[in-house]
């Protein structure tokens, strides 16, 4: 595998707005009939002209929308709407919203995979959940659910087992009260729906096809070995959750990797649409259970965008402190787990856990729970910091954590075995990383200086001085060291925040447990430790979201795994997976 020479990282300029109306005019010059309408909510593009428009936006040098953040769909009951969030990594700013309508009966939308490879998994997810067919997609197949599943669960007319009402709170719990203890309902009896005429003894799943990417290459080389499909998992001990990797190998060389997902799927998004906005907060803890505070923050950012409220100063500082502590926790575990995957069983992880324990104690003191924090509220935080919290934090960020980070670097980064195995392995070139919509440390390790905290500052991140570390070639070594550099950057933000935190209110207005969102949509995002975590929310005037979608960074980063692992040996695969840093709770949602 050729090693590309290190190049200067791309710099992201601070926020410039991608005004939909201006861009729509530019599209109209090129394709007069492609735009249906343009407003602040986004540009509605004609269904059949979408690939042209996307290609133009992607290739045009002055627009250069080279990055697809998010792809999702909304069921409006009379039609489907597919929503794309695009942005330019060079310009930064809020993403541009493209919308495409599709018929309610037999919906078809042209696939964007030829333009943005990052659309691959996301289009499969939309097909799985909404049943929208993407014409031209190379491998349109269910991704989170099993192949025999009947129906598309995110459609509004789909009712799950034990369906009570469309929206919580259910009237049966109070007013018309009766009680049915959950245990009394037989879980193996009536909560499973099978297709018509289904017989489990004779059911044959559709034949797995080997994905054709890479096989042509092998043919050209006239190799005399046979290709084998190797199933790694589900439940491989050093994968980070229940994941199956279908690996096509030629000898020991990987030809293609296909992640098989959905073992932890619980349809988080449908649950979110049943819940009220506030009720959904504890569910976001369970997305990526290592970084629950940061998930809370990203969700609160999105809902506050929709509701139009702003938290007071002290709450903003508390949020930043919690988010950066989470980043430290996540990265210290991630680097430990990379070592775990390399075969250094548990020693580095446990050293990481030792520091994590102290941070979790702080989380427990503030929020009441160590992992499922449920701490951030819309327009503030749940409760003020307890006594002694800031003193402990001060000691940790000024003395203990810098020392720990230095120690980690000395004994982990300078380890020869690690260097021999991680350098020039699992390279993700810069343009591939962008095209696959990789986010967070994976993107930055490939040399792109893109961070949501800088590109579209949320909360009060525009006040702090901090570095955005970047890698050079995007190999495993870069993805490892970048996490240590980000831990340092987090510590520098924490030091500033602890020094500056003011006294005062922690909640704007009165706490409202049934906040009503106006009609409209909002895409709120935050730089989570694993990448950009985005929430796409559609409000319909009530206390429940009409549509709730999670842009899960780990899910989309996993889409680039095939590119990272192709051409390397099977023994490297688990480490490459470790360097992507996934949590299955977030991938499968």
Binding flag, residue 476, another protein (CB under 8 A)? no
Binding mask 538-567 for another protein (x = CB under 8 A): ------------------------------
Q: Which of 174, 197, 202, 226 binds another protein (CB under 8 A)?
A: 174
Per DSSP, what are the bridge partners of residue 96? 86
Counting other chains too, the contacts that 343-352 makes at CB distance below 8 Å and 24 or more residues apart are: 348/408, 348/412, 351/408
Binding flag, residue 465, another protein (CB under 8 A)? no
Binding flag, residue 315, another protein (CB under 8 A)? no
CB 433, min distance to another protein, A: 29
Give the nearer residue to another protein in terms of CB position, either 238 or 279.
Answer: 279
CB 482, min distance to another protein, A: 19
Rounded to 5 degrees, what angle do the CA atoms 421, 422, 424 make? Answer: 105
Binding flag, residue 414, another protein (CB under 8 A)? yes
Q: Which of 2, 29, 40, 182 binds another protein (CB under 8 A)?
A: 182
Segment interacting with another protein (CB under 8 A) among 178-186, 193-201, 222-230, 310-318 = 178-186
Segment interacting with another protein (CB under 8 A) among 99-107, 117-125, 164-172, 319-327 = 164-172
Query: 91 by DSSP, 3-state: which?
Result: coil
The 3-state secondary structure of 392-405, one letter per residue: HHHHHHHHHHHHHH
CB 369, min distance to another protein, A: 6
Q: Which of 351, 450, 464, 546 binds another protein (CB under 8 A)?
A: 351
- Contact indicator for 112, 135 with CB cutoff of 8 Å: no
- Going edge to edge, which strands form the sheet with 42-45? 35-39, 42-45, 96-103, 79-87, 67-75
- Contact indicator for 99, 147 with CB cutoff of 8 Å: no
- Contact indicator for 262, 558 with CB cutoff of 8 Å: no
- Going edge to edge, which strands form the sheet with 520-528? 520-528, 531-539, 545-551
Binding flag, residue 360, another protein (CB under 8 A)? no
CB 420, min distance to another protein, A: 9
# residues near another protein by CB under 8 A: 53
Instruction: Name every residue whose Cβ is closer than 8 Å to that of residue 147 and which is 6 or more positions away in sequence.
Output: 141, 205, 206
- CA separation for the pair 335, 581 (Å, rounded): 9
Give the nearer residue to another protein in terms of CB position, either 29 or 181.
Answer: 181
CB 541, min distance to another protein, A: 18
Binding flag, residue 3, another protein (CB under 8 A)? no
* Positions in 369-408 near another protein (CB under 8 A): 369, 372, 374, 382-383, 386, 392, 395-396, 400, 407
Segment interacting with another protein (CB under 8 A) among 221-229, 231-239, 297-305, 417-425 = 417-425
Give the nearer residue to another protein in terms of CB position, either 359 or 587.
Answer: 359
Binding flag, residue 367, another protein (CB under 8 A)? yes
- Contact indicator for 575, 421 with CB cutoff of 8 Å: yes
CB 453, min distance to another protein, A: 27
Among candidates 380, 353, 371, 384, which has minimal Cα distance to 293? 371
Binding flag, residue 514, another protein (CB under 8 A)? yes
Binding flag, residue 173, another protein (CB under 8 A)? yes
Q: Please give the structure tokens belonging to residue 443.
A: 């993107």
Instruction: Name every residue whose Cβ is closer than 8 Å to that of residue 509 and which is 6 or more positions away in sequence.
Output: 309, 379
Segment interacting with another protein (CB under 8 A) among 45-53, 363-371, 432-440, 480-488 = 363-371
Q: Which of 135, 361, 406, 462 binds another protein (CB under 8 A)?
A: 361
How many separate helices (H) and strands (E) can be counted in the chain?
A: 20, 17
Give the nearer residue to another protein in terms of CB position, either 181 or 192.
Answer: 181
CB 174, min distance to another protein, A: 4
> What is the residue-wise DSSP string for 215-271?
HHHHHHTT--SPEEEEEE-SS-TTSSSS-EEEEEEETTEEEEEEEE--TT---HHHH
Give the nearer residue to another protein in terms of CB position, either 33 or 183.
Answer: 183
Among candidates 370, 273, 350, which has minimal Cα distance to 72? 273
Q: Which of 159, 511, 519, 569 binds another protein (CB under 8 A)?
A: 511
Segment interacting with another protein (CB under 8 A) among 213-221, 293-301, 506-514, 549-557 = 506-514
> What is the residue-wise DSSP string for 337-401?
HHHHHHT--SHHHHHHHHHHHHHHHHHHHHHS-SS----EETTEESSPPPTTHHHHHHHIIIIIH
CB 359, min distance to another protein, A: 10
- Contact indicator for 556, 563 with CB cutoff of 8 Å: no
Give the nearer residue to another protein in terms of CB position, either 372 or 460.
Answer: 372
- CA separation for the pair 307, 278 (Å, rounded): 12
Give the nearer residue to another protein in terms of CB position, either 138 or 187.
Answer: 187
Q: Which of 412, 422, 427, 533 binds another protein (CB under 8 A)?
A: 412
Binding flag, residue 77, another protein (CB under 8 A)? no
- CA separation for the pair 73, 549 (Å, rounded): 9
Binding flag, residue 22, another protein (CB under 8 A)? no
Query: 577 by DSSP, 3-state: which?
Result: helix
φ and ψ at 42, to 5 degrees? 135, 175
Residues in the chain: 589
Binding flag, residue 162, another protein (CB under 8 A)? no
* Positions in 183-202 near another protein (CB under 8 A): 183
Report the relative pairing of strands 545-551 and 67-75 from DSSP bridges: unpaired
φ and ψ at 534, to 5 degrees? -120, 150
CB 368, min distance to another protein, A: 4
Binding mask 258-287 for another protein (x = CB under 8 A): -----------------x--xxxxxx----
- Contact indicator for 418, 340 with CB cutoff of 8 Å: no
CB 469, min distance to another protein, A: 22
Q: How many CA atoms lie within 13 A of 21 on its CB side?
A: 2
Binding site for another protein (CB under 8 A): 168-170, 172-175, 177-179, 181-183, 275, 278-283, 347, 351, 354, 358, 361, 364-369, 372, 374, 382-383, 386, 392, 395-396, 400, 407, 410-412, 414-419, 511, 513-514
């Amino acid at each position: 595998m050729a090693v590309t020479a290190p190049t200067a990282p791309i710099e992201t300029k601070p926020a410039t707005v991608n005004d939909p109306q201006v861009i729509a005019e530019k599209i109209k010059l090129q394709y007069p009939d492609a735009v249906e309408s343009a407003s602040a909510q986004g540009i509605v593009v004609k269904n059949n002209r979408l690939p042209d428009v996307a290609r133009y936006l992607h290739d045009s040098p002055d627009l250069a929308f080279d990055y697809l953040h998010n792809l999702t769909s909304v069921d409006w009951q009379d039609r489907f709407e597919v929503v794309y969030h695009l942005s330019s990594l060079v310009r930064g700013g809020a993403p541009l919203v493209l919308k495409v309508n599709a018929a309610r009966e037999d919906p078809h939308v042209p696939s964007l995979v030829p333009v943005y490879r990052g659309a691959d998994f996301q289009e499969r997810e939309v097909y799985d959940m909404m049943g929208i067919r993407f014409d031209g997609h190379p491998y349109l197949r269910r991704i989170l659910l099993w192949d025999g599943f009947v129906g598309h669960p995110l459609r509004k007319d789909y009712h799950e087992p034990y369906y009570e009402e469309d929206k919580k709170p259910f009237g049966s719990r109070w007013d018309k009260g009766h009680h049915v203890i959950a245990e009394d309902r037989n879980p193996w009896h009536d909560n499973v729906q099978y297709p018509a005429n289904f017989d489990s003894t004779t059911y044959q799943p559709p034949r797995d096809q080997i994905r054709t990417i890479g096989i042509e290459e092998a043919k050209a080389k006239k190799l005399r070995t046979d290709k084998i499909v190797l199933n790694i998992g589900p439940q491989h001990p050093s994968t980070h959750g229940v994941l199956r990797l279908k690996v096509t190998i030629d000898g020991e060389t990987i030809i293609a990797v296909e992640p098989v997902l959905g073992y932890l799927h619980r349809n988080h998004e449908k649950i979110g649409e049943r819940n009220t906005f506030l009720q959904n907060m504890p569910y976001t803890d369970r997305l990526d259970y290592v970084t629950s505070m940061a998930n809370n923050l990203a969700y609160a950012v999105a809902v506050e965008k929709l509701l139009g409220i702003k938290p007071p100063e002290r709450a903003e500082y508390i949020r930043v402190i919690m988010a950066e502590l989470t980043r430290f926790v996540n990265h210290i575990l991630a680097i430990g787990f990379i070592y775990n995957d390399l075969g250094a069983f548990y020693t580095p992880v446990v050293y990481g856990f030792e520091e994590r324990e102290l941070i979790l104690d702080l989380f427990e003191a503030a929020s009441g729970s160590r992992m499922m924090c449920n701490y951030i509220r819309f327009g503030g935080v749940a409760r003020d910091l307890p006594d002694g919290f800031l003193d402990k934090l001060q000691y940790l960020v000024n003395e203990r954590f810098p020392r720990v980070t230095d120690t980690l670097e000395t004994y982990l980064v300078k380890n020869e075995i690690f260097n021999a195995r991680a350098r020039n392995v699992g390279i993700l070139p810069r343009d591939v990383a962008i095209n696959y919509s990789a986010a967070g440390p994976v993107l930055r390790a490939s040399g792109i200086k893109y961070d949501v905290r800088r590109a579209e500052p949320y909360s009060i991140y525009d006040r702090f001085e901090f570095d955005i570390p970047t890698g050079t070639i995007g190999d495993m070594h870069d993805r490892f060291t970048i996490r240590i550099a980000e831990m340092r950057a987090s510590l520098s933000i924490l030091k500033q925040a602890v020094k500056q935190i003011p006294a005062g209110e922690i909640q704007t207005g009165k706490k409202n447990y049934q906040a009503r969102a106006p009609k409209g949509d909002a895409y709120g995002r935050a730089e989570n430790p694993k990448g950009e975590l985005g929430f796409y929310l559609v409000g319909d005037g009530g206390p429940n979201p009409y549509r709730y979608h999670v842009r899960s960074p780990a899910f989309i980063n996993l889409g680039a795994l095939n590119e990272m692992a192709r051409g390397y040996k099977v023994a490297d695969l688990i480490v490459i997976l470790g360097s992507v840093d996934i949590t299955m709770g977030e991938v499968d949602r």
